Structure 1
Amino acid sequence: MDILRFLTAGSVDDGKSTLIGRLLYDSKSIMVDQLEAMERSTKNRDEGQIDLALLTDGLRAEREQGITIDVAYKYFSTPKRKFIIADAPGHIQYTRNMVTGASNSDLAIILIDARHGVVEQTRRHSIIVSLLNLPHVVVAVNKMDLVNYSQNVYNDIVIDYAQVAKSLGLKNVSYIPISALNGDNIVEKSAALRWYDGDSLLGLLESVEVHEDINLSEGRFPVQYVIRPQTEELPDYRGYAGKIISGIYRKGDKVVVQPSGVESTIAAVEVAGAEVQEAFAPQSVVLHLADDVDISRGDVIVQKEAPVEVAQEFEVVLCWMSNTPLVARNKYLLQINSRTVRCVVKELEYKLNVNTLEKEALPASAGLNDVVKATIKTASPIPFDSYKKLRANGGAILIDETSNVTVGACMIDSVASEKPFWPEI
């Protein structure tokens, strides 16, 4: 059974936490003790309704304010698929938390309040979804019960958001009218929305094809650990353990170890301790090479016919996630997959206005939640791909050397002379 990781995002009070609670409640994925606790804590007890948002708003501060601050993760499954849900905050000052939730997701559900339509935070979250290159987007027009289930209201919102999606280049966008509070179109189709001929939200989530999003043509294998038992039984054993992030690896394939550029041949492929003829993304494997090559954690074994970029200086689109401003010439640690190197942010080119999508002249520094174009130089070469080309090998984070706190999320743009990362608007 495969897993779908998805994110919910939207403005404050659009009903994200209630939506997730409804999914869990109607799919019977709530434990009895959780249900009893919700009944005791619910704010709507006098109305005979359970406050489903309490399933995700677990922090005390969130319950007191009635908003989601941290990213809340929930897990449930149906006979068709397992799900991991990330409930992202709605407030502007917590946009960085949405980046955390979206970085590992296959799909984003963007909620829109039917009464308010497309608003500033809708555009902001859509930009982050575009930045992180999520392959699937579901636009859920919530609170349809408050607009009398009007098809005209729904159609107007679809038209407005379609313009946003087009300008951002969002792919595979689906639209669905719902009422999370009443359960309309969440698990089962709603009689109140007879004019909608699509699937329910859960039906859509169960049918999304995530395997088609995996790149199987360009082999990338970041080494996480070098296995050398050096025992009497295995005196010469040398295996390279890690997770295949893209491509297919077969015994006999010609490979290149980057960033050193040394070539070799795959002598054996192991999966779960057993030798196999081939393995593919996203399997965790142990590779053996025909030659004794100096390989360490962070090196990438790539297929010879699918070369990777190797450089010390490159451009990135960066989402700043720290209260401490980002200033040019500041030094950090950059981590991409299992490789960590020291780096310096050489230059800040421009800031992206997340409301108009225009490039703006950047002041002396970048602040919390700013999205900027920057140039980074690393202390040693790193192998990477353009984020737009291969998401799994084009995303990196910046880490503060003193506190070890993640302060920035980077989407690498491999060659500056290529088409700009952001289309001209």
Structure 2
Amino acid sequence: MSQSPARLCAAALLLLPSRTCPGAEGALSPLRKKRRSALRGCLWQNLRGCAGDGLTAAGPGRAVCSMGSSTSRLYSALAKTLGSSGSAVPQQCLEQPCQEQLEPIDPKELLEECQEVLQGRPARFHRDFVTLKNCFSSNRHHPIRVMQWNILAQALGEGKDNFIKCPMEALKWEERKYLILEEILTYQPDVLCLQEVDHYWDTFQPMLSRLGYQCTFLPKPWSPCLEVECNNGPDGCALFFLQDRFQLVSSSKLRLTARTLQTNQVAIAETLQCRETGRLICVVVTHLKARTGWERFRSAQGSDLLRNLQDITEGAKIPLIICGDFNAEPTEDVYKHFASSSLNLNSAYKVLSVDGQSEPPYTTWNIRPSGESCHTLDYIWYSQHALNVNAALDLLTEEQIGPNRLPSFNYPSDHMSLVCDFSFSEDPDRLL
């Protein structure tokens, strides 16, 4: 007889040392205590999601973010997804999800629900696509739409990041998740690259898999989210692609190094075959070390990633798209390494500039206790010998962002999403 997911969740919790077990706490180092606490919180969250029995707290002192009303399509979809797997919901803490065929969700209906839930919020910003005049109209294949976005980890947004001009109410996950989903559903990317994902297992994987995406997640080895009370587990990078457009050829999960030191930053690189053209493309998502003073560290991480990609793409024989929050301005060495790499990369968002050679003035804009921060840190790099940029989504204006900056009631992250349409070049070797 199969057991219910709730029973399995409870069983999984029993695998952890009891808080009242004599000597159990004293035998653990402070670091292991933190990790064990985070794991217990992770399992409690899943117990709440699987049980669906009115529990109001995920264990002692752990509040749970509901997924919406029990009558909503989003809530029902997630409840059915979490309840459909009879095997351990602790999969949230594993690297490999159980790939299971689930009933698809109509993206239009889900977008409508997001908009209904967000009716009480200010109108969202309108952004236009800028189409390049020299894009190849003769290309008869559908463009590949790629979306890059640091969505702001929930634990950091409500905890460590301290956006002093953003009301806490605007950061509550109960509505902020709808803003994130609305942005994704509005632009309907074929490939989606996200950073600071700490609600992968309970939101993004179940929802996007049912929208037709294949999903991959790689958490940071030690996430700062775990230092926040009532966290939802570690944050990391996630890569999604539409299965009706691409077939997975290979997948690599990378822990970046700085010289010989293994670091806390990661990358996912997946080689995909386009079903329409039969051509290969390697898509990468990464998130480099943050903060001023770590420029040389980021440079070393970037060099390590480039070396790995040199091998994965067989020396640029496979075209590349690299999405990420590099935490680096264009003046930093890591940016220059990518711009001058033998992989022949170019930054897609330069197409928005008048001369086609300059990055946008900002991709993130926030206010913390240390002051106002306005920087260009996010990029979509691409193989310019094999791919063309057909269009790019314009960025928010200063007037749209407003004096309190990001995040806000209008926008869920302090980073803006970048969206580009690419096409394969008819002459892929022209610049090699």
Please give the range of the TM-score, normalised by the shorter of the 2 chains. Answer: under 0.3
TM-score, length basis structure 2: 0.26
TM-score, length basis structure 1: 0.26
Task: Say which structure is richer in strand.
Answer: 1
